[in-house]
Amino acid sequence: MNINYQSQSPSFGIKISPRVETQLYKQLNEIGEKRIPKKSFETQLENVKKWGSDDLELVVTRNIIGDYGLGLKKKIENLFPVSWSFERIGGKTELAQFLRLKEANIHKTENTIDCLYKKYGLDIFKSAINNEQSKFVKVKIKQ
């Protein structure tokens, strides 16, 4: 009896953080079903879950300018997870960005994270975390 176990293993894709999923449903309910049908949203949701590798997570991140938007969180080797925002995806809300998201955006962002890690190591991500923490400290002092 010859059984191929590899064909029976399920393929996992990108995870969507609970915060992002709740935010997307909230924005969908605010807009209403006349502008964006729920069926098209749910098909996009299922498609996104199939894309990418299983160590990726869709999260809300800050881009270079400082605006919040959708991005990827990826765990690098045995280290902490790092995040990077999608480039040139457009859309003011997370829902608009999510509906414009394509598989190529996910692969490009994943490759960007890998390339930055290979070129600069963890220094670029640690400096981003330190800058982010110093901003929070300044905000706490002002309040």
Task: Give mean pLDDT, residues 123-138.
Answer: 54
Give CA separation, 135 vs 3, 42, 60, 66, 82, in Å.
56, 37, 18, 11, 18
Q: What b/e string do you get for 68-85 counting C-beta neighbours within 10 Å, with b at 16 or more?
A: ebbbbbbebeeeeebbbb
Task: Give mean pLDDT, residues 96-110.
Answer: 93
pLDDT in tens, 24-68: 999 999 988 778 888 999 999 999 999 988 889 999 988 777 888
Asked if the model's pLDDT at residue 22 lies above 90, the reply is: yes
Residue of 96 and 79 predicted with greater confidence: 96
Q: Is residue 1 very low, low, confident or very high in pLDDT (cuts 50, 70, 90)? A: very low
